[in-house]
Amino acid sequence: MTTTGTGSQRLRLGTRGSRLALTQSGQVAEALMAAGGGGAAAAAGKASEGSGGLGIDLVTVRTDGDGDRTPLRQLGGVGVFAARLRHALLDGEVDLVVHSFKDLPTQPVEGLEVICVPAREDPRDALCARDGLTLADLPEGARVGTGSPRRAAQLLAARPDLEVVDLRGNVPTRLARVRGLEVVGVGTDEPVAPSRADAAGDLDAVVLALSGLRRLGLEHCASEVLDLETMLPAPAQGALAVETRTGEDSAELARAVAALDDEPTRLAVTAERALMARLGAGCAAPVGAWAHLRGGGQEQREEHAEHGTGWNEGFRGDDTAVTGGRQGAGAANGGPRPVGVSEVGPHGSAASCRSPRVLVLRAVVTSLDGGQEVGCELSTELPETSGGPGTPGDTAAVRAAEALGARAAEVLLDDGADQIVDLHANKPRRD
């Protein structure tokens, strides 16, 4: 961190070099500067302008995962995209970094802390198929690309006839496999160039995170947004994490972080990541999870309701667990995944003027061939919070979210989740 002659504090924000990472890091930088009084925002890779307040410069950090085309499950999965950013932070090369939260290992790193979780994008996955086809419309034996074992497993659970093809590369590169486009400069984020009009690509479809498509302005490439009954997203998918060194002393940054941090998102991803931590699972494990807040006069992300069922649908209950599994082709015809059954918890009633805040977590573990699946749904009432991150009320809510995630993991393990797939080589011992 430096202080300019005009009194402006300048921070170096580390980011991966992909177009998506630069876009979302630039968006976070703009929001932090606006909240911190830093004037005009920075363009990707350029210094911000303006005097006084908070200024941020983007610093590109190349990570091991960016240049390696090895399948994700063979790269070790856990932290492959985050490790280099964290090293840059610890070594003082940068002052803060922006992660895709789903890529961040659940184990904390001494000397670092996540200081801000901005509002989450829609966490659902999107099918990008030729000719605008939906998942149900894809022909038998269609070739569908994904680099995610979770997406592959859930695709096969819904459509066991599909041929799932492992896929790496940036978003434009993956889309080019379907849309008959050629990438200009393999392994880079240069724009893709159209191939011959008759080129059809080698895949019928790819599955990508809807949040990434939106941030890149490529949402129109999605032929179908997959509902939560078909594909449960990765824990923390669609969320970003701003990480810095512990004890970083900047009044401007603290003010900006307080304005940008989104409590519903933070509590949801806390529960989802606590689930992963208790399972001992890495980011490449076939685990799906989605948490959201209900009640308290607040519905999380109502603006996404028009995009289809699932994203803003909640399931009420209080510590209610409903578990179940799917078997092979029966998964495609066996109805929706289990949901909670009680209408209200013991601390509130349907007639309450203000319903209690309830955090609901749905989770699933799927075998790699899609033939077996273990799922559960739990919910818990949260204490009221006030004062923002780090206050006693907020700490109690975070602890409740962590406990919810851990309980969900125990339910999954009790039902044999670790028997249908190798969640992680060093998964924790169960007492």
Catalytic residues: 103
Distance of CA 77 to the CA centre of its chain: 15
288 exposure class (CB count in 10 Å sphere: 0-12, 13-18, 19+): buried
Task: Tell me how far apart the alpha carbons of residues 420 and 247 are, in angstroms, rounded to a whole number.
Answer: 43
Distances (CA, A) of 67 to 62, 187, 404: 8, 6, 37
Q: Which of 286, 241, 240 is nearest to 77 (CA)?
A: 286
Q: Strand 54-60 to strand 9-15: parallel, antiparallel, or no bridges (unpaired)?
A: parallel
Cβ proximity of 73 and 149 under 8 Å: yes
Distances (CA, A) of 307 to 157, 239, 431: 23, 18, 43
Side chain identity at residue 216, one-letter code? L
Cβ proximity of 149 and 368 under 8 Å: yes
Task: Tell me how far apart the alpha carbons of residues 106 and 104 are, in angstroms, rounded to a whole number.
Answer: 6
In this structure, is the dihedral angle defined by the CA atoms of residues 262, 124, 232 and 301, taken in order, positive or negative? positive
Distances (CA, A) of 86 to 14, 76, 91, 235, 272: 9, 17, 8, 20, 22
Distance of CA 293 to the CA centre of its chain: 16
